[in-house]
Structure 1
Amino acid sequence: MNGAPPDLSRPLEGITVRQLQPKKLLHSKWTAVHVVAREKHFLVTRVMQPEQPDAPIEWIDIEAVHSQAVRRIAWQELTDAARWHQGWV
Structure 2
Amino acid sequence: MLKNKVNFKKLLNSKWTSVSPTNKEKHFLVIQVDYNEKGEISSCFIEAILSKHIISLDWRELKDPKIWLNGWL
TM-score by length of 2: 0.89
> In the alignment, what sits opposite 1:71?
55
Identity of aligned residues (%): 38
> In the alignment, what sits opposite 1:27?
13
- Stretches of structure 2 that go unaligned for 5 or more consecutive residues are none
Deviations along 1:54-73, one digit per CA (max 9) or x if unpaired, are 14113210000001010010
CA–CA distance in structure 2, aligned partners of residues 35 and 69 of structure 1: 13
Give the strand-richer structure, 1 or 2. 2
Q: Map residues 8-23 of structure 1 onto 2, 5 A cutoff.
A: 15-23=1-9
1:80 to partner: Cα distance: 0.2
- Is the 1:22–1:47 Cα contact (8 Å) retained in structure 2? no
TM-score by length of 1: 0.75
CA–CA distance in structure 1, aligned partners of residues 54 and 4 of structure 2: 23
Deviations along 1:1-24, one digit per CA (max 9) or x if unpaired, are xxxxxxxxxxxxxx3112323232
Structure 1 runs of 4+ with >6 Å offset = none
> In the alignment, what sits opposite 1:41?
27
RMSD: 1.2
- Stretches of structure 1 that go unaligned for 5 or more consecutive residues are 1-14
Q: Map residues 49-88 of structure 1 onto 2, 5 A cutoff.
A: 49-50=35-36, 52=37, 54-88=38-72
